[in-house]
Amino acid sequence: MDDEGSEAAARLLAVVLGATILHAASATTVYDVLQQNNLPQGLVSQGVQSYTLQPEGHLEATLFGQCDFFVTIAGKQFKFWFDATFVGIVQPGSLHEVYSVSFQAEFT
């Protein structure tokens, strides 16, 4: 390869690397999606392996497996169960039409 070809290849490599770094820096997590929609990040279990978000707000998230955990709110405990994959619609201030998530409230 001549000097001109080597220089063009080096420029192309620099552009590709720059684009890759820029894309990685702009990538978000499901927790960022929640925060951007004025929802608490703790609304979704830790350990989300992957997620997809459609333009209309349809969210599908996959965990490493089923999980459950307790949340205490105002002195009352709530138990949440998440299936390995769960879905819902995310809109500013709202997560609705949620499937594959259950909870048990403490009644006194």
Q: What is the pLDDT of residues 69-94, one digit of tens each?
A: 887 878 888 888 899 999 999 999 99
Spatial CA neighbour of 51 closest among 67, 34, 39: 34
Tokens (6 digits) for 48: 């989300």
Query: Cα–chain-centroid distance for residue 34?
Result: 8
Q: Enumerate the β-bridge partners of residue 69.
A: 80
Where along the chain do its domains lie? 29-105
Q: Residue 7, SS3?
A: helix
* Mean pLDDT (the chain, rounded): 78
More reliable by pLDDT, 43 or 14: 43
In SS3 terms, 51-73 reads as EEECCCCEEEEEECCCEEEEEEE
